[in-house]
Structure 1
């Protein structure tokens, strides 16, 4: 099983593109705890979240970063936090984020688990505990890359751009 530290090496070493499929309603990330609590208490959006230096370091180097989150509205508290506070800085700094809302339409043909695809070669299947805590990743056989490239392409072609989804969602909940 690949640890979080070992996972970071894939981000340092990929040369052209990284894609993430997200499927969970909650991710427990220790670095986010304080911010999530502030969000839940109705606090102000943190100034330092208007951009994401980590994303910017990737996109300014000419590498592409894509993500599609498969979810279902109404959004969990965590997803409202992630989409409202986490994603805007990432998008600002060049990450391409899409949303597939399964409450709007049923989509088949995607896996029921998270994964990263690096440079169309390295596929990492992500594992999480029931509470959203990262447990590790499994490096899948290179022979599985075409399958995950097809998942990526389908997810990207099916997803609604984040900014469009978020604008529409906010109008619905106002």
Structure 2
């Protein structure tokens, strides 16, 4: 049964035991915590691979902690090509996610046409809980929703695995 619940993602990830997979399907996001970094990137800022203290916190700490406990974290992004400016921003900083322990793959949207995909981005935690990420047309967050409905969990799991299997590992994906 769906719920909007007050559970913070950090709490959900802290309880995760085996796997956390994330499917992103938008070409533009306008979430509050990225507005400053995106503007800085547009003005020429790039993360220094040698300066880990300047990277996105606390997210990377959450990832590193979960991976350290044995949780496998995978992120797949379905993107239109040529990619949007926002996707260029995401791609340029993804090495920080990988350094924290995430695995990331990219799938050109034209290669996803025959995949049964859910209508929203999601996290699937331990193959039991789906956390939907709802967005408005402008990319702003409209809040999360959670479900443990078995058919929804199955849809999300199968969709993610298909995207993952077709996806290109981050270090091999070339921005077009």
TM-score, normalised via structure 2 length:
0.83
Partner in structure 2 of residue 138 of structure 1? 145
Distance 1:154 1:44, change over 3 A: closer
Distance 1:53 1:106, change over 3 A: closer
Write out aligned runs for 1:1-174 (5 A).
1-2=3-4, 6-45=8-47, 47=51, 48-49=54-55, 52-85=60-93, 87-103=94-110, 105-109=111-115, 110-144=117-151, 145-165=153-173, 168-169=174-175
Shift of 1:118: 0.5
Shift of 1:31: 2.2
Contact 1:66 1:95 in 2 (8 A): yes
Shift of 1:73: 1.5
- Counterparts of 2:159 and 2:124 in 1: how far apart (Å)? 10
Return 5+ residue gaps in structure 1 as ranges: none
Distance 1:121 1:44, change over 3 A: closer
Aligned length: 166
Higher mean displacement: 118-127 or 131-140: 131-140
SS in 1 for 2:106: strand
- Counterparts of 2:74 and 2:5 in 1: how far apart (Å)? 22
TM-score, normalised via structure 1 length:
0.84
Shift of 1:7: 3.2
RMSD: 2.2
Return 5+ residue gaps in structure 2 as ranges: none
- Counterparts of 1:15 and 1:44 in 2: how far apart (Å)? 33
Shift of 1:37: 1.0
- Counterparts of 2:149 and 2:95 in 1: how far apart (Å)? 33
